[in-house]
Amino acid sequence: SGSFSFGLNFLATRLYADDAFSGQDFQVERNLCVRTDLLEADFLIEYRPFSRSQGFNRFYIYSGIGGMYYQPKAELNDDWYKLRTLGTEGQYLDDGPGPYKEIDIVIPYGLGYKFRLGKSTSIILDLGFRKTFTDYLDDVSTVYADNVTIAAEKGPEAEILADRSATQRAIGTARGNPDKKDSYHILSIKFEYLFGGKSGDRCYYNRNPPKTRSTKINQRRMFTK
C-alpha cells in the first residue's frame, strides 16, 4: 500500500512572458514583455502510491496550499519598472478598478521521481504546477484604459508600458482575458542527501523516513495566459 508524508516548501523564482514568442497574432501585436519576481511558501501533502515491494516507490505525487508574493516588471530604456504601481490598465484613475493584490493564494500540485545514486544520495526530477487566483501575474488582464490620463497621473513611462503595440489601441479594447486565471509550472532537478539512513535501506520512503535536505540546482519555468 502507499504512504503519505507532509512538508513545507519555499520557493524564490522569476517568471517570464514575452508576446514575441506567442503563436497568437493578437498577442504578437500587443508586444508586451514582462518578468515577474515571485516568492512562494506552501504546505504540501506527498503521496507515494507504490509499496516498497513493488519497486516503484520512488515515484510520488503531491498537492497542497500556499501563498505567493509577486511583482511584475517591464524594461524601458534599460530601467525596470514595477507595473503594479503604474496602473497600466487604469487602476489608479478615478473610474479605475483599483490596484491588484501583491499577495495571493496558490495551489501547488505535481509529481516526481527519485533516481538513487548511492546509499545516501539521490537525484530528484520534479514537475510542479501552480494554480493561482489572479490574472495579474504578468500585469495583463482586462482592457486598455485612457493612456493620456494614465500619463497625466503616473508619467510618460506608464503610458508607454501600458500600450506597446505599433498602433495605439482604442480605450476599452481587449488587452487580456479576465476569464482565465494565470498559472505557471516549474521543472526542477534536485540533489538529495540523507542523514541517518541505514545501510540496509532499499529506498528512502518508508514509515519512519530519515531527515532529508534538498537543494534545487536547475529550474525552468513559465506561466500561461
- Tens of pLDDT, residue by residue over 125-141, are 999 999 999 999 999 99
CA 130 → CA 39, 63, 66, 171, 194, distances in Å? 13, 10, 10, 32, 28
Nearest CA among 68, 69, 84, 107 for reference residue 34: 84
Q: Are 36 and 12 in contact (CB under 8 A)?
A: no
Structurally, the chain folds into a number of domains equal to: 1
3-state secondary structure (DSSP) of residue 130: strand
Q: Which domain holds residue 110?
A: 3-224
pLDDT grade for 119, boundaries at 50, 70 and 90: confident
Of 56-60, 61-65, 151-155, the range with the lowest mean pLDDT is 56-60
Nearest CA among 132, 136, 133, 123 for reference residue 188: 123
- The DSSP 8-state label assigned to residue 26 in this structure reads H
pLDDT grade for 213, boundaries at 50, 70 and 90: very low
In the numeric block, which cell numbers belong to residue 126?
520534479
Residue carrying C-alpha cell 537543494? 215
Question: What is the separation of C-alpha 67 from the centre of its chain, rounded to a whole number of angstroms?
Answer: 11
In the numeric block, which cell numbers belong to residue 105?
493564494
- Mean pLDDT, rounded, for 22-36: 94
